[in-house]
Amino acid sequence: MVLRIGALRRRILLGAVLGPLAAPEAIRAARAQAWPARPLRLIVPFAAGGTSDLLGRLIGSALGPALGQTVVVENRPGGGSTVGAAAVAQAAPDGYTLLLGTPGVQTTNPFMMPSLPYDPDQAFTPIVNVMRTPNLLVVHPSVPAKTVAELIDLARKRPGTLFFGSSGAGSTSHLAGELLRYMAKVEVVHVPFRGTGPGVQALLSGDVQMALDGLPALLPHIREGRLRLLAVTTPRRYAGLPDTPAVAETLPGFDAAPFNYISGPANLPRPIVDRVNAAMNTILREEGFRRKFEELGFEPMGGTPEELAGVIRGEAARWKSVIQAAGIRIE
């Protein structure tokens, strides 16, 4: 009996010593098991009405029922996605604040901006890759080139005379143009505009001769014959435009297809990560959801958190070279 009491006392003393250390982990595990107990926020780091906002609302409308809670889309524009990203980086890692990640957050802004309000390598927990969308390489009908090879040849013969428009300095359309210039070794002149709309209007009027911008904004004008489509910027041909070649068929390795993903704050419990990942992978396989994506020019992705982390690392390394070669800086 004495020995049993002694052993009990030792366990009580040991628990008293370890309790404060073990409690936080135990609390996190318990919370993860009960999650979600209230609505979630999905932070979209751009203003309402754009492609990212549309994508966020599509995701929220499907992810909420899958998790049994409402997913509220919250627009936090500013700083080329840094304002919204910082809000998620600073949030509690409890699964109630998620980020709709865009290329700027971790793969391009770190190399264009002198300082960020978060650590792009450590501030987030990758959850799932959601989609990518092809940019389209288009030219004004006055440009004689009908293929990528002919456009490159024209640019080499007339250096500095072809202008490409973008939705702004550091945007995916700007970086796609810089990648073309970098890989093809041509001199084309960048003209930034305040958004996709003004850039497309300048292209339609012939103020700029070419662009590499998003499919949803350009495809209607291509169908009307007001722009000529040369190629898609995905590594392979896009299923929605099977007769259109990829730029990579002329410039092997060319890939300028923006991707979007879901992440959370650093140290997000793995059970929460796995639940969101599983829910999104199921959603992305549903025929009705895939049809909506394809109508908008989105290519569903999915996969594991580890695969997403690899995509982010690879994209960051690739765009770092392009950004540094182009000398792009955003103050």
Model confidence band, residue 31 (pLDDT cutoffs 50, 70, 90): low
Q: Which helix (H) or strand (E) holds 65?
A: helix 51-67
Q: What is the mean pLDDT of residues 190-215?
A: 90
The model carries a pTM of 0.82
Res. 12 pLDDT band, cuts 50 70 90? very low
3-state secondary structure of 251: coil
Q: pLDDT at residue 8 above 90? A: no
pLDDT digits (tens, 9 = 90+) for 79-92: 888 999 999 999 99
Per-residue pLDDT tens for 117-170? Answer: 999 999 999 999 999 988 999 999 999 999 999 999 999 999 999 999 988 888
- Nearest in space to 196 (alpha carbons), one of 176, 173, 179, 180: 173
Residue 30 has pLDDT above 70, yes or no: no
Structural domains of the chain ordered from first start = 37-133+258-326 (3.40.190.150), 135-249 (3.40.190.10)
What average pLDDT does this structure show over 35-45?
A: 96
Mean pLDDT of 23-36: 67
Task: Give yes or no for a contact between 98 and 263, defined as CB atoms under 8 angstroms apart.
Answer: yes
Helix 172-184 vs helix 305-326: angle between axes, to the nearest 10 degrees?
70
Average pLDDT over all residues of the chain: 89
